[in-house]
Structure 1
Amino acid sequence: METTEAILETNKKQKEFYNNIKQNFFTKIWAKFRNGLLNQIRKNVGIQDQAYLLHKEWFGDLSNKKVLDLGCFTGNYWSYYLAEHSKQYLGIDLSDVAIEKLKEKLKFLPNAKAEAVDFLSPDFLEKDFDLIYAYGVLHHFKNTTILIDRLNEKLATNGTIISYDPLETSLPIKIIRAIYRPFQSDAAWEWPLTKKTFYQYKNAFNIIERRGVLGKSKWVAFLDILPISENKKKIIGQKWHKQDWDKSFTSDRVMFSCMHLTMLMQKK
């Protein structure tokens, strides 16, 4: 099993990668698929906005909360909102280049700061966070046990985590990722959640709510081969997405058919 020291060494490479992003041909192809076709599906059926709005609902009243924005790069969709409304905000990322840009965005908010630091490093001393916002971050840690221990260490009593990560539990996606992985330029720190890792989180935290996206709705892309209108495709996609969204709340089977999972977890 990978040690903390090994992860810290990997993260040095990850820092260099994100300071000077250079994707190989295959990674660019995957990014084009992910950011092109999948983003178009998300837009057409309202997936991304729904997830963001749910996160805002999960934030609750931030006025007395100490917030950690984990792996936020130059700032994610909610970074400035979290910084503006929380009692105390800290955004951290491996990339010092990205953090300098975030600092510029936050310079007029006295309760907010940003720091280039590794979450697992002994140099990161801050703790007692009421909320850890981890958008697209948890799957960057190969050793889930070490990550969970660190999250628990940094959370305040009854503190919560909001996460959003890719799943590798749908068989077609698992096959595609397996074919792509040997050529992936960021493979050393890309570990989409498996059934095993999900159950590790379930055992470690109270999962208050969870929602899966791009389950049945990911097949909307294949409707393009059918002689139906764009509006009809949109209606079908929205219907499938609603099924994914509603049923993944309670059904593991539906959740594991999805490509992405967002969770609200609370410290036990």
Structure 2
Amino acid sequence: MNPEERAAVNKRQREFYDSKHKNLPTRIWSFFRNGLLNKIKKQLQVERDIYELHKKWFGDLSNKKVLDLGCYKGNSLSFYLASNSKSYLGIDLSATGITYLEKRLKNIPTARAEVVDFLSKDFKEGDFDLIYAYGVLHHFKDVDELIAQLDKKLAVGGVIISYDPLQTSIPMKFFRMLYRPFQSDKDWEWPFSKKTFFKFQENFEVKERRGVLAKAKYASLLNFMPVSEEYKEKKAKKWHRSDWEKSSQSDTYLFRCMHLSMLLQKKSL
């Protein structure tokens, strides 16, 4: 993608997130994703597990320079990162989001926020010990360009912590294939394929990874079964734990999941 094309996409992306305007198919998909799936995630405490895992992966932040990539108004761990790191920089395309984040960070002298395109030549900072990308990496169409920039911006031994959607399971491939032609944000939504995952694996050391919502995404179907609430909850939680553990070891199992979290480290020269 040339600079002019990227600037046009960035403009549409910024306007989309600032206005929150979605067409009907996108609203229907959001209802499914944010309604039904979020109910399952809340019941199984999926996001709690992700956040606790990310905090564990952060380690001791006191001597780390942190980049919070694509943070908008601040994600669930932005303030934690800003409060505990040696230095913190949050970046996003949206002036609206960054203005809001700046207000949250005003009492933290080592933290700041900036409106900038991560791939732009205008973004000159580097040597980050940690790049946090929560729900961000799948917004970049050119994976090779993204990987090159991530590697360039990391300090020696630096790490990336990410969380992104997968489109590797048969049900998700099918639904996304039907939905994509009508999707409001299709120009900057590129859920990870197997090829994308293996590109990251080739260019960084995957220290650890976890997938969620493989078996557990079917937990809602238990409501149609003539079984007790206790059984439903127990079964759903068992599926989630199975997803959590097996996805860390098996690529086949990982690709059945809906979301992927990775701890990536810059490779030694």
* 1:116-143, Cα deviation, whole Å (9 max, x unpaired): 1110111111111000000000000111
State the distance in 2 between where 1:9 and 1:262 align. Answer: 29
**The residue matched to 2:210 in structure 1 has which SS?**
strand
State the distance in 2 between where 1:93 and 1:40 align. Answer: 28
Q: Which runs of 5+ in 2 are unaligned?
A: none
Q: CA deviation at 1:151?
A: 0.3
5 Å-filtered alignment, 1:90-239, equals 90-239=89-238
**The residue matched to 1:249 in structure 2 has which SS?**
coil
State the distance in 1 between where 2:47 and 2:116 align. Answer: 28
State the distance in 1 between where 2:144 and 2:132 align. Answer: 19
TM-score, with length taken from structure 1: 0.98
* 1:14-47, Cα deviation, whole Å (9 max, x unpaired): 1121222201111111111111111111111121
Residue 260 (structure 2) aligns with: 261
Letter in 2 for 1:241: H
State the distance in 2 between where 1:210 and 1:202 align. Answer: 11
Letter in 2 for 1:151: L
State the distance in 2 between where 1:116 and 1:41 align. Answer: 34
State the distance in 2 between where 1:4 and 1:154 align. Answer: 19
Residue 18 (structure 1) aligns with: 17
Contact 1:8 / 1:120 at 8 angstroms: preserved in 2? no
Residue 55 (structure 1) aligns with: 54
* 1:174-196, Cα deviation, whole Å (9 max, x unpaired): 10011011111001000000000
Letter in 2 for 1:84: S
State the distance in 2 between where 1:78 and 1:240 align. Answer: 26
Contact 1:4 / 1:120 at 8 angstroms: preserved in 2? no
Q: Does 1:87 align with 2:86?
A: yes
State the distance in 1 between where 2:81 and 2:139 align. Answer: 22
Contact 1:80 / 1:106 at 8 angstroms: preserved in 2? yes
**The residue matched to 2:48 in structure 1 has which SS?**
helix
Letter in 1 for 2:152: E
Q: CA deviation at 1:231?
A: 2.2
Q: Which range moved further: 12-21 or 35-44?
A: 12-21
State the distance in 1 between where 2:6 and 2:230 align. Answer: 47
State the distance in 2 between where 1:256 and 1:205 align. Answer: 19
* 1:25-71, Cα deviation, whole Å (9 max, x unpaired): 11111111111111111111121100110000000000000000000
Contact 1:139 / 1:191 at 8 angstroms: preserved in 2? yes
State the distance in 2 between where 1:78 and 1:90 align. Answer: 13
Q: CA deviation at 1:232?
A: 1.4
Contact 1:208 / 1:265 at 8 angstroms: preserved in 2? yes
Letter in 2 for 1:265: L
**The residue matched to 2:41 in structure 1 has which SS?**
helix
**The residue matched to 1:265 in structure 2 has which SS?**
strand
Contact 1:4 / 1:146 at 8 angstroms: preserved in 2? no
Q: Which runs of 5+ in 1 are unaligned?
A: none
Structure 1's 170 and 4: CA in aligned 2 closer, same or farther, altered over 3 A? farther
